[in-house]
Structures are given as structure tokens and as C-alpha cells.
Amino acid sequence: MFEITQLRHAYPERAGFFLNRPKGYGEYTFLHFFNSVQLRLGDQVIKTEPHAIILFDIGTPQCFKSESPLIHDWMHFKGALPSLVGEGGLQLDTVYYPRPHAFLTQMIRELESEFYGDLPSKEKLLELKAQEFFIKLDRAVSCPPAAEISAETEKALRYLRGEMFSSLEMDWTVEEMAKRIALSPSRIYPIYKKVYGISPMADLINARINSAKNMLSFGGEKVEEIAWRLGYQNTTHFIRQFKQKVGCTPAQYRKEQIADVEAKDRNFCGESL
């Protein structure tokens, strides 16, 4: 069973801080250094870049020094390692540079708040949050690095996404999306995918198909009308795209939804009787 025993977020130490545990620690240790440190690994001394992380195995010697005032997140835990650590995933006693890295401190802070509190289901929530932490950490070190995204750009992307989802009928193109937030078409694609995990056009298509499913389930409009309302100039293209995403045509989907509702009504009436 995974169990956190101690942790702190953005923990400060004086300039020249030196930690030396030649026999390591009796638990796993996670460290995230905000600034550069000199870190000994085996016979090597590494000068890390800012925002390096390392997950020490039990008993691995821990030795590092910070010439400047040190800020770091740290966590000790014991029990079963998260499934993402080991073969094919995060390796112990290895320096990584997560991109992005801001989530590390945010999530350690959330874990710390829960750890030192005494609310119901505390242990369960800690375990779930820890699983989320290691999943995001694995993504951040295994995915190809991308340029840092400014807060202004991320805010502009949120606004653009809101516009897209509230105006699905518009003839959106990547060029139009990029123009609205003052980016080039080639630039918006990697940034959008970095933030939302999907390309802008694929995100738009998913939103249109989800909206179509709602209209087919709860409205009486014809398939042609739904296609037009969702920005499709060609009904055949809409039907083809819907089938690719859902596995059936819009007409088949509506028929299945009506049958499902009728079956539920019959069951409900039978139980009521």
C-alpha cells in the first residue's frame, strides 16, 4: 500500500545548504529543485538546471548542495511504488526535467494540505491525488518538450476555446483560430495540443459531434438541420464524420436512443406497478 509519510511544498533553505545521507533514506524520496544544485549520483557530480526532479530509491545515497538559497518540493513515501515507476516509466535515481513543471508545486501543496488535515476519507484521497501526481509527472517527462506557454497565451486559448464551443456553427479554420489570438497557424497547433492534449480541429469536431448527439437524443430536428446548425455545409460530410466518431449514422443513433428511452420508461412503469 502506498503511504506518504512527510512532504512540503516550496520549502526554503539558506544559501550553501548541504544534505548528505551516505546510506540513503529508509523510504522513497521525491525532490523538485526550483534552482540549480550540485547533485552526486554514484561517482558523478551533476550541476542540474532549474526545476530538475529526482525520485530516490530506498537506501540510495542522497547528497546535494545549493550555492544559492534553495527552494524545493519534497516528499517521502513508502509501500508499493506507483505503477508508473519502473520498467517503461519513471526510473528511480534519475534526473528529469518535466515540461511543464508548475503543476508539481501545486499538487504537492494540495497533498500537503490534505496530509496535515483530518477530514473524512483522508487516506483514500491522498492515494488518489498521489496517483494523479505520478501520472502527470510521467507525462511531463515522457512527452516531447515544448516551449513554455505564458499565462497570457493560455488565457487567450481558454477564451478562444469558449468561443469555438459556443459558436459551433461558424466556419472555423486553423487560420481563423490563430488570427483571433494573434498567433501563426503553425504556432497554434503545438500550443493548443500542449494545453488540451488534442489538436484544435479535432477538439472542434469532438464538440460538434457531442452537440449532435444531444440534439439527436432530445430534439426532433432533421439530420440536415442539425448538420447546418453545427457548421457543416455538406450533410454527407457530417454523417461520415459522425459515423467515424460514434460508430453509427446519426439516424441510427437517434433510433437507438429512442429505443433506449422507451425501454427505460417501460421498466420504470413496471416497477411502479
- Give the model confidence (pLDDT) of 170-194 as tens digits: 999 999 999 999 999 989 998 898 8
Alpha carbons 30 and 53: distance in angstroms, whole number = 7
The predicted pLDDT at position 264 comes to 58
Half-sphere CA count of 46, side-chain side, radius 13 A: 16
pLDDT-derived band at 268 (thresholds 50, 70, 90) equals very low
Topology, domain 3-142: Jelly Rolls (2.60.120)
Asked if pLDDT for residue 91 goes beyond 50, the answer is: yes
Burial class (CB in 10 A: 0-12, 13-18, 19+), 34: buried
Angle, helix 250-272 to helix 200-218, in steps of 10 degrees: 50
The predicted pLDDT at position 272 comes to 46
Helix/strand/coil (H/E/C) assignment for every residue in 28-94: EEEEEECCCCEEEECCEEEECCCCEEEEECCCCCEEEECCCCEEEEEEEEECCCCCCECCCCECCCC
Alpha carbons 264 and 241: distance in angstroms, whole number = 29
pLDDT-derived band at 139 (thresholds 50, 70, 90) equals confident
C-alpha cell at 268: 420504470
Which is nearest to 92 in space by CA: 61, 65, 127, 128?
Answer: 61
Asked if pLDDT for residue 144 goes beyond 60, the answer is: no
Burial class (CB in 10 A: 0-12, 13-18, 19+), 234: exposed
Asked if pLDDT for residue 210 goes beyond 50, the answer is: yes
Domain boundary assignment for the chain = 3-142, 151-258
Alpha carbons 24 and 49: distance in angstroms, whole number = 23
Give the rounded distance of the alpha carbon of 47 from its chain centre. 29
Asked if pLDDT for residue 195 goes beyond 90, the answer is: no
pLDDT-derived band at 273 (thresholds 50, 70, 90) equals very low
Indicate the average pLDDT of the chain: 89
pTM of the model: 0.59
CATH architecture, range 151-258: Orthogonal Bundle (1.10)
Q: Which residue has the cell 472542434?
A: 204
* Beta bridge partner(s), residue 90: 85
Contact indicator for 19, 81 with CB cutoff of 8 Å: no
Asked if pLDDT for residue 73 goes beyond 90, the answer is: yes
Alpha carbons 65 and 88: distance in angstroms, whole number = 30
Angle, helix 250-272 to helix 235-246, in steps of 10 degrees: 50
Mean pLDDT, range 156-172, rounded to an integer:
92
pLDDT-derived band at 198 (thresholds 50, 70, 90) equals confident
Asked if pLDDT for residue 98 goes beyond 60, the answer is: yes
Asked if pLDDT for residue 266 goes beyond 50, the answer is: yes
Mean pLDDT is lowest, of 34-48, 163-177, 259-273, for 259-273
Asked if pLDDT for residue 158 goes beyond 70, the answer is: yes
Asked if pLDDT for residue 146 goes beyond 80, the answer is: no
Higher pLDDT, 82 or 93: 93
